[in-house]
Amino acid sequence: MSLTCGIDIGGTKILGGVVDEDGAILAELRVESPATDEEAIERAVCDLVRRLAAEHDVSAVGVGAAGYVDKSRSTVMFAPNIAWRDVALRAELERDLGLPVVIENDANVAAWGEFRFGAGADVDDLLLVTVGTGVGGGLVLDGSLYRGAFGVGAEIGHMRVVPGGVLCGCGNHGCWEQYASGSAMVREARSEARGGSLLARRLLDLADGDVDRITGPLITEAARAGDPFSVEQLATLGRWLGEGIASLAAILDPAVCAIGGGVSGHRCGSRRHQGRRRGGLRGGRGAAGGSSHDAGPAGRGGARRGRTDPGRGGGGRRSPGGGRRARGRRVRRRRGGEGHVRPAPALAR
Ligand SMILES: [Zn+2]
């Protein structure tokens, strides 16, 4: 069986895994990301691959990078949190490793993983929304990853939802991720606490009176303990998520919308028709588990966690391309028993 090595390069860590053809992860390693040093990142990636390849017969490497990757999947054009500006990462890694390498945007990689092995394994059209520090997105349309004309499609976090709204890191105002991300939730909670709001007192107490210690996980913890203010922060985040997803669903008509990332938690599934009708994800089950934009290692799929159905991702279920096409249009539109908005098991960690 052919094995590949998936690498996830983020702003804080580099994660590597050996993955088989069925999406099962056979080994994993993680190192801190020297995000400000371009060459150090490459050395760290090469070191990670060599360590994994020493134990497993790896034949190719897939890299998910938190940045804009060109359409030929070779060059990282820009990364907001990593020191990359037009870096020919593919060529440099192939030279150093002597293996075929593919570079792809991390949210695209995550969407493809969910499509192959996770929440979208039985459909042809999938929208993945990753909710963490920001909001990322990946889109699979009619069985193909959608990259757009220049390779930077599906940057859904920068969809404008509030004209003249909060300034975003991208330079525009009112982007969705300024309202529907873990960072947005923490920003608002801190603002309330800093303003002396009595509502935020319990949360502030949990933070030992230090506003800067109010974090996504702390808000989640307080919400679970019944703090109404923290519950409301999560509910607000959920409403903003629902608003954006409803707009995206109207344009894209995906069969499944999978939600991943640090804030999504593990049990945030809600039915799409509810999201459409009410403009939000109801039920309050989208508790935050953290606030990182964690897309998981490239190409990993849902084999490791969150796969409650042992048949999912099973061996030989789908050959690349052929099997899915043969299944064709049988899979669509489940309006009854199963929800269209699903948690992303391939991303759950
Ligand atoms: Zn933006």
Query: pLDDT of 213-256, one tens digit each?
Result: 999 999 999 999 999 999 999 999 999 999 999 999 999 999 99
Distance in Å, CA 168 to ligand 1 centroid: 5
Across 115-249, the runs of DSSP E, i.e. the strands, are 126-131, 135-141, 144-145
Q: Report the Cα 90 to chain-centroid distance in Å.
A: 22
Give backbone dihedrals phi and psi of 127, rounded to 5 degrees, phi first: -110, 125
Identify the H or E element spanning 203.
helix 201-206
Residues less than 5 Å from ion ligand 1, measured at CB:
158, 168, 170, 172, 175
Contact 110, 120 (CB under 8 A): no
- What is the distance between the alpha carbons of residues 343 and 340, in angstroms, rounded to a whole number? 10
Task: For residues 236 and 301, give the distance between their C-alpha atoms in angstroms, rounded to a whole number.
Answer: 30
SS3 314: coil
Read off the tokens for 39: 């060459």
Same fold, 3-99 and 110-180+231-343: yes
**Res 8 pLDDT > 90:** yes
DSSP type of residue 280: S
Summarised one tens digit per residue, pLDDT across range 267-308 is 433 333 333 322 223 222 222 222 233 333 333 333 222 222
Higher-confidence residue of 51 and 330: namely 51
**How far, in Å, from the CA of 160 to the mean position of ligand 1?**
8
Alpha carbon of 262 to ligand 1 centroid (Å)? 19
pLDDT at 106 over 50: yes
Query: Listing from the earlier edge strand, what are the strands of the sheet with 85-87?
Result: 68-69, 76-78, 85-87
Measured in Å, residue 105 CA sits from the centre of ligand 1 at: 17
Phi-psi map region of 297: left, alpha, beta (phi>0 left; psi -120 to 50 alpha): beta
Average pLDDT over residues 104-127: 94
| Ligand 1 mean position, distance from CA 159 (Å) | 7
Residues 309-322 pLDDT 10s? 333 333 333 333 33
* pLDDT tens column, 137-181: 999 999 999 999 888 889 999 999 999 999 998 889 999 999 999
Distance (Å, rounded) from C-alpha 312 to C-alpha 25?
A: 14
Q: Ligand 1 centre from 190 Cα, in Å?
A: 21
- Distance, CA 156 to ligand 1 centroid (Å)? 9
> Closest by alpha carbon to 107, among 46, 148, 161?
148
Q: What is the 325 CA–ligand 1 centroid distance (Å)?
A: 36
pLDDT in tens, 59-77: 999 999 888 898 888 998 8
Span from the CA of 166 to the centroid of ligand 1 (angstroms): 9
Q: Which CATH class is domain 110-180+231-343?
A: alpha beta
Identify the band that residue 201 occupies on the pLDDT scale cut at 50, 70 and 90. Answer: very high
Contact 163, 174 (CB under 8 A): yes
Q: For the chain, give every domain's residue range.
A: 3-99, 110-180+231-343
- Strand-pairing partners, residue 13, are 32
Fold of the domain built from segment(s) 3-99: Nucleotidyltransferase; domain 5 (3.30.420)
Burial code (b: 16+ CB inside 10 Å, e: under 16) for 134-155 equals bbbbbbbbeeebbbeeebbbbb
CA distance 147 to 72: 10
